[in-house]
Amino acid sequence: MKLQLDKALSLVALGVLGVLNSAHAAPVYKIVNIENYELKGTLKDTRNGYALGVNANDELVGISKGKKKLSSSDVEGGVIDVADGIAPEETITYSIDKAIIANNFAFIAKENDDTSNPWTPNFDSINGTTAPSDTTVINSVDTFYYGINNAGIKVGSMTAPEKKAGNAATTDVTDDYWYYRDYEFRGVAKAGSTEIPLVPPYTLFVNADKTKTVELGGWSAATAINNNNLVAGYASIDISKYGSDRVNYCLGTENTLPVDVCVQREQYPNSTGTRNIQYQTRAYVWQIDNDTATGTALPLGLTPKADNTLTFTAQALGLNDNGVVAGRSHVYRNNDTDKLRQDAVYWAKDTEGNYQYHWVPMGDSISSSIAYDINNSGILVGSYRSYIQGYLRDKFFVFDTNTPDVAYVTPNDFGSTTTDLSSKPKDINNKGQVVGYIETTYDKEKPRPKAGFLYEKSTGEFNNLNKLLTCESKGYEKASDGSWARHQVEVRDGSGKTFTYNADIIVVEGTSINEEGTIVGTAFIRKPSLQLDSAGNIIVGENGEALFELNGNGDPVTAYIPGMVVLKPITNGEACTVEDNTDTGNFERSGAATLAWLFALPLVWFRRRIR
């Protein structure tokens, strides 16, 4: 199968020669959710924001993460500089002994929401949640949006609300409860104010002799929706062998906890980040009609033997308006049971209307692959993982499902060759425009920073989105002599002093693109870091505002913080030609290149950090 990869690369080379012989001007983009050089990138009282889907009406959905447990008067516009954007004292823990506190909040934004203030993230309640800025209620429900169709129907997932059980064993009179919930996450669609739960087929455990049952909740998620109201995602169809053993333990005499509490402990991630209770998971589609959802499991890429105790997983991550679904599945490559892999696949209906599984062929040198999306022309985009120059890298590929016998194509990166820069696509529109992210440096042993990219399939042109931005969109302002310089952001901290630092915005991922070329995704914006004491608490000055961390020159140390970004193509502007590597200011990279990209790993999108 190595020849197949070589063939793909040779096809790319031919495509690049065609591009070099043709003239094509890349579009110029403007970031439109900027106000006074400030990115409107997340909900109030959260730190990080991510835009994940946009429709033809310039309406988007996204997620805000990292709720402050401080009052708004304690910190005004401050950002805590830690690797994952959450201060140690605010880390959400998994424990049956502690109350469940939500840390993920779904939001919507649109261009025409408010003519005076477009693209403002607005909290959207799911499953009874309240806005993170509401200090009168502590939410226990995490909510997520991943997609939106042209009718405005939004899809994502949610956790169940917290429940309590009496804990007679505790000596803490202020907290004598166990905490649990009915399910860990469940798909949901929202049409207007109507919520439509996407319940998985497997939720209830029954022991072998059918004498005991326990409600587990299962799990499901909705990852995309097309314009015919067909939803793609995944759902539990059964429990894993080890998961069954753990539930039986909870039902047995050795368990001293209430059964629901014991099950909750087993469903939480353990110290290694895995859950003891796992589910047999299949790609799934739900047809929404009159506010009801009818679900269908999509076939796995293999047929397990009756006595097989392995846990098999498939996920649908994208679909087109023709109902063709893209994702990944466990497969035996070429029916060889010694080659169990997770690979990119797509599902399409046969002449009888039944979904059939189709593997995207991968060579032996590929350890795994995944398909993220497919457009109405049947062009599928995904990435594969393989060793390049001795290191595991992810590479973006394009596959035409109309010619399944023709190998996938690995587009060249920024030059005329394929490099070892990892890249992943996240979306393709019907014009063949693809957005995603790519690494930008060639360090072998260090984390590599990332940038959003735009790829034009029709021409083979591959662009760093930051190279297509206007200067204002990158944090520059024009002087009277016509030169460009970084805008100076003026801030005040708890000492009462006023400081300045260089504005800077970097697009690090494109996650969705509509037919008009509007791109949404994630950008890093520079912010000052706050001082923390030895216990990890924010140090507040006499004026009630947080103190900044200062360098040896008395200037604030700054770090990049992720926020949602919206880019629109313009016809009357020019791409900025100022070199980005000049005038960097007091920037200190602190985990900035290590975003936990959504859809990067199976079933981890809802994982919160363990203390």
Residue 189: the pLDDT is 98
Closest-CA residue to 397 (of 455, 323, 313): 455
Residue 610: the pLDDT is 26
- Answer for the pair 8, 397: CB distance below 8 angstroms, yes or no: yes
> Which stretches in the chain have pLDDT values below 50?
1-23, 68-90, 582-611
Residue 41: the pLDDT is 94
Residue 579: the pLDDT is 83
What's the one-letter identity of residue 529? S
Q: Has residue 442 been placed in a domain?
A: yes
- Neighbour count for residue 147 (Cβ, 10 Å): 27
Closest-CA residue to 288 (of 151, 160, 158): 151
Per DSSP bridges, beta strands 230-239 and 292-297 are unpaired
Alpha carbon of 426 to those of 258, 288, 461, 520, 598: distances in Å? 43, 24, 17, 11, 10
Residue 546: the pLDDT is 87
Residue 25: the pLDDT is 74
Q: Has residue 606 been placed in a domain?
A: no
Q: Has residue 516 been placed in a domain?
A: yes
Residue 593: the pLDDT is 30
Residue 171: the pLDDT is 58
Taking the alpha carbons at both ends of the chain, their separation in whole angstroms is 44
Number of domains present in the structure of the chain: 1
In sequence order, the 6+-apart residues with CB closer than 8 A to the CB of 72 are 44, 45, 133
Q: Would you say the C-alpha torsion 339, 341, 344, 345 has a positive or negative sign?
A: positive
Residue 169: the pLDDT is 67
- Answer for the pair 300, 330: CB distance below 8 angstroms, yes or no: yes
Domain range for 154 is: 2-570
Q: Has residue 45 been placed in a domain?
A: yes
Structure tokens at 172: 């803490």
Distance between CA atoms of 439 and 394, rounded to whole angstroms? 10
DSSP string, 266-277: HHSB-TTS-BSS
Q: Has residue 427 been placed in a domain?
A: yes
Q: Has residue 301 been placed in a domain?
A: yes
Percent of the chain with pLDDT over 90: 72
Residue 92: the pLDDT is 56
Q: Has residue 361 been placed in a domain?
A: yes
Residue 45: the pLDDT is 87
Residue 415: the pLDDT is 74
Name the one residue in this structure whose structure tokens are 């260090």. 446
Residue 8: the pLDDT is 40
Q: Has residue 588 been placed in a domain?
A: no
